[in-house]
Amino acid sequence: MSQNHVSGMESSAISVLKRAVELDHSGRFQESLVCYQEGIQLLIDVLKASVKDESKRGHYRERIKGYMDRAEQIKSHVNQLKEDGKYHEQIRISEDATGHSYESLFKPYMSSFLTEVWVEDPYIRHIHQLYNFLRFCEMLLKAPCKVKKVHLLTSQDEADSGQQRGALSEIKESLSAQGVTLDLQYSSTIHDREIRFDNGWIIKIGRGLDYFKRPKGRFSIGYCDYDLRQCHETSVDIFHTKHTKTL
């Protein structure tokens, strides 16, 4: 392996672990745990590639041990909070912020045990909102889990129900071809937004899935990559099911 490649891996590890520490200090423990795990693996890869330099190997071993110890502490802390029914985390997305694609937001909570998802959002009606839901479904399909069923509860577009029903029917058919069932229901009284995973996580976004701003043009940065798309200000509350049972 070339020295440039090793240096690149080391830079990536430093970047990911720096983010892990920032999330750790801000109390976003589940997200920080994912970053610690990714960064540690990158450092292990660097260690394996630095076979001839014993001083560097010792340095990497020490750093890996430190990060692994902290990751284990966080894992134990999160598991205890979940067991006690007290897990609650809040993320604030500021006005015009970027870096909050569905992949970035939901990844820390999508374990390999995830098989079923419930989406309650009254605003899956207009074209851009329907595309948001489609992107969310695509994100589920790409994740390292085996989602088999998605439940959507939304309100009906009274102005153009044909467009809404047609789009959701097409999404349902497309998901079916991927081995995923879409259970679709409408409600005239739904107001709250909530996404639930059958692995226990509950994510409540103030604006639901519709927290992205309209791009400035069809050929503007952020039109395709939602990590580069500006956001509306909103809050994201993350719970675990044992926490909600005490409410």
Q: What is the mean pLDDT of each run of 10 residues along the chain (247 residues)?
A: 73 92 90 92 84 76 92 90 82 95 93 93 95 97 93 91 94 97 96 93 96 94 95 95 47
pTM score, two decimals?
Answer: 0.75
Encoded tokens for 233? 């200000």
Domains of the chain in sequence order? 3-84 (1.20.58.80), 88-240 (3.30.870.30)
pLDDT at site 1: 53
Cα–Cα distance, 186 to 32 (Å, whole number)? 37
pLDDT at site 50: 67
Cα–Cα distance, 170 to 180 (Å, whole number)? 13
> CB–CB of 46/17 below 8 Å?
no
pLDDT at site 3: 66
Rg (alpha carbons) of the chain, rounded to whole number:
21
pLDDT at site 103: 94
pLDDT at site 245: 39
What's the full length of the chain, in residues?
247
pLDDT at site 54: 77
